[in-house]
A = this chain, B = another copy of it.
Amino acid sequence: MSKGILIVVSAPSGCGKGTILSEVLKDEKFYYSVSATTRSPRTGEADGVNYHFLTHEQFVERINNDGMLEYAEYCGNYYGTPKKEVYDKLSEGKNVILEIEVQGAMQIKKKCPEAVFVFIAPPSIQELKRRLNKRGTESDEVIQQRVSEAAHEISFASQYDYVVVNAELEEAISDFRSVVRAQELKSESQKNFIDEVLKNA
């Protein structure tokens, strides 16, 4: 069986990343990598679903054993991507999706140059503002903060391999799938197939 593809996805808040990924993940060929954290589970969060909840000691041990693909510390808690789970699923032929923020993505780029990096962008800052306002859950101040965070994140987009613009949801989902499919069709992924055809020539 051929190895799966590691897909690293980042997007500012309000870009529809969650909706796109949940649609893509309906295909069993895809696997969503669950992050690990040392923060406490919130109400309704389950271990292995929302996060792998680890103690501080467990997390540090994993770091020391090179068991994290990337990690970062926020507000006194660790967050990271357990390496084994990702590599196991890739060996099983699954396309593994890592949903991760820009800094983590840049760490992974150094370690896994064979991964595909996809940035999901809003069609414009105006539209992003409109979407965040439409939710109606946040103050103007929070929205302004989100928008400037988004702009900061978008400034990293050119360091990703692909930029999928979510102007129209169905098209964005189809674009995301095209990116992954193209990756599967790369000639270096098909060396075994080519050899096989030629062996029987």
Of A57-65, A92-100, A175-183, the one contacting chain B is A175-183
Of A26-34, A45-53, A122-130, the one contacting chain B is A122-130
Within the oligomer, what is the number of copies of this chain?
2
> Is A87 close to B, CB under 8 A?
no
A188: which B residues are within 8 A, CB to CB?
158
A184 CA to B125 CA, complexed, in Å: 21
> Is A54 close to B, CB under 8 A?
no
Interface size on A, residues (CB 8 A): 42
> Is A160 close to B, CB under 8 A?
yes
A161: which B residues are within 8 A, CB to CB?
186-187
Residue of B nearest to A185 (CB): B162
A190 CA to B162 CA, complexed, in Å: 9
Q: Given A154-B201, A185-B178, is A163 in contact with B122 using a C-beta cutoff of 8 Å?
A: no
Interface string of A123-167 (1 = CB under 8 A from B): 011100000000000000000000110110011011111111100
